[in-house]
A and B are shown apart, each in its own frame.
Chain A
Amino acid sequence: MEKLLEEFSLGLFVWQTILFVALLLLLKKFAWKPILDAVNERETSIRESLSAAEKAREDMEAVQADNKRILKQARSERDALLAEAKTESTKIVNQAKEDAKAEADKITAQAQVTIQNEKNAAINELKGQVASLSIDIAAKVLQTELKDQAAQEKFVSELVKEIEVK
């Protein structure tokens, strides 16, 4: 203990105290405060960034779930639409088939009527012509009959030949 007291140097103690306190105050102002502030700030910003990232992730997940739901809904809607369209188209095709058949039947019937009419008209005309020809032949036969027998027969046969030629 005595040795310690003997070794104690007041000068060194005074210098040490002055220098240490000055260093403490200088570092406090120029180093420790800015350093600790910067580190604190950085830590706060890291903490905030992490929580923001976590929040973003949650948001993302929500958005994804939303998307999935919407997609599912759209798919089911599409399916419903497709099914509806299919029945509708089948209906339309069937309708069209029926319509076409009816139309065709109608046209056929009309054509048959027209053909019948034409046929009747042609028969009637033929009948008229046959009648007038018959009358002509009869008139000529009658004219020639009055001259002689031989000529008559000859004439008739000629006429007959004529008819055949025609």
Chain B
Amino acid sequence: MLILLKRKSLFLLALLLTGVVSAKEKQEITENLSAKEIQKKEIKDYIMHHLQDSYDFSFFSYTNESGEHVYIGAPLPIILWDKGLKVFSSSKFHHGETVAEVDGNYYAISHNKIYKTDAEGTIIYDEDHHATNEAPLDFSITKGVVSIMFTFLLMFFLFKNLADSYAKNGGIASGVGRFFEPIVLYVRDDIAIPNIGEKKYKKYMSFLLTVFFFVWFLNILGLTPLGINVTGNIAVTFCLALITFLLTNLTGTKDYWLHIFDPLGSSMKWYAKVPLYIILIPIEVLGIFVKPFSLLIRLYANMQAGHIVLMSLIGLMFIFKSWLGSPLSFGLAFAISFIEVLVALLQAYIFTMLSALYFGFASEEHEHHDEIEAH
């Protein structure tokens, strides 16, 4: 009875968390731990695993009668560069449980990274528990990449459709575009124009709109039971922030750079400015990098935290396993889901808003210099 209940709960857990934990890692810790502790560890591993990218797209997994893990989902292509291009299906790894052999080379997955190993899949760890094996360049189509591709197609068709509907419908949006048109206008009228200014906002519009919808859609996608966590991945937010950084500094006007390297301007004599600038200029230069860095950490941390909270609450259900505790954690998870829907939009808004603000700094042109002269 107890075993049956546990199996059932494991199945449900797997269904909700859609994570994959390698059997090997689990074996290491199963000894000398109580059942409750094992379960806690399992839930923690599920959450941690879910937050990371994955080499296959599994919807859920369960343990069958004979104690085997059964995964429902699809394997994804692995693309490696290891003295030549190696392309193979991730099914060769059997969800990280076995070693994949390709053209006489052996690869194994450890801590969600692919390493080159020997035929037994031995991974040597140093004292900090880092794998010392050679890691090939990994350009695999992971779950995250698939999600990005899906968002790519979704956005392209959605907004292409909206653009076409104007031509067909005499300048009025039709269909689902009626929902998105006000949002496009909101980005233009309440994010781009107030922060960048009427004159220069146009050249940043494409980026602002794309990044807004991209982040929003991926955030929402992360709330579906597909268990996708793309915007909570540091590589993705880094890329977005990097583009903001490049756009800001490549389109920076003379005034923008003057503001960084001569922040006090003509309000002081040059010899008074020198000691101040020893401190000020490094701070301003640091600011160039801190601004986009805050963008990437904010989005990453918010999405990551949201997923951890939500999944921990769901996980609590399986720890409590009582008529009082489980409904409570369900209710909490339900409420947090609503907040997460708002956070998904809010984070997209904040990312876009702050990017627009930085573009506004980059494109500022002071007119008050002339005013002072005129007075």
Contacts and interface: CB of A to CB of B under 8 A. Distances in A.
Interface of A: 4, 6-17, 19-24, 26-28, 30-36, 38-39, 41-42, 45
Given A23-B210, A30-B163, A32-B205, A13 B235 contact: yes
B156 A16 contact: no
A27 B233 contact: no
Which of A9, A21, A39 is packed against the most chain B CB atoms within 10 Å? Answer: A9
23 contacts: A4-B300, A11-B145, A12-B144, A12-B235, A15-B145, A16-B144, A16-B148, A20-B214, A23-B152, A23-B214, A26-B156, A27-B206, A27-B210, A30-B163, A34-B164, A35-B163, A35-B184, A36-B184, A38-B171, A39-B166, A39-B181, A39-B185, A42-B171
Interface of B: 52-53, 79, 111, 137-142, 144-145, 148-149, 152, 155-156, 159-160, 162-164, 166-167, 171-172, 181, 184-185, 188, 202, 205-207, 209-210, 214, 233-236, 238-240, 242-243, 300
B106 to A, nearest CB: 19
Contact of A10 (B137, B141, B185): B137
Contacts of B167: 34, 38
A15 B155 contact: no
Given A23-B156, A28-B206, A35 B139 contact: no
Contacts of B79: 11
Contacts of B53: 9, 12
B130 to A, nearest CB: 8
A19 B138 contact: no
A20 B238 CA distance: 12
Nearest to B185: A39
Contacts of A34: 163-164, 166-167
Contacts of A42: 171-172
A43 to B, nearest CB: 9
Given A12-B144, A35-B159, A36-B188, A7 B210 contact: no
Nearest to B202: A36
A69 B53 CA distance: 83
B163 A31 contact: yes
Q: Which 8 A-B pairs have the closest CB atoms?
A: A31-B159, A38-B166, A34-B163, A13-B235, A28-B206, A12-B235, A16-B239, A11-B138
Give the one of A11, A19, A36 with max B CB within 10 A: A11
B214 A31 contact: no
A16 B235 contact: yes
A117 B142 CA distance: 149
Given A31-B160, A31-B163, A12 B206 contact: no
Given A24-B210, A34-B166, A38-B171, A12 B185 contact: no
Contacts of A31: 156, 159-160, 162-163
Residue among B52, B137, B149, B163 with the most chain A CB within 10 A? Answer: B163
Contacts of B160: 27, 30-31
A24 B167 CA distance: 22
Contact of A11 (B139, B207, B239): B139
A2 B303 CA distance: 19
A13 B337 CA distance: 28
Given A7-B233, A9-B53, A35-B162, A15 B139 contact: yes
A41 B173 CA distance: 13
A38 B163 contact: yes
Nearest to A31: B159
A17 B152 CA distance: 12
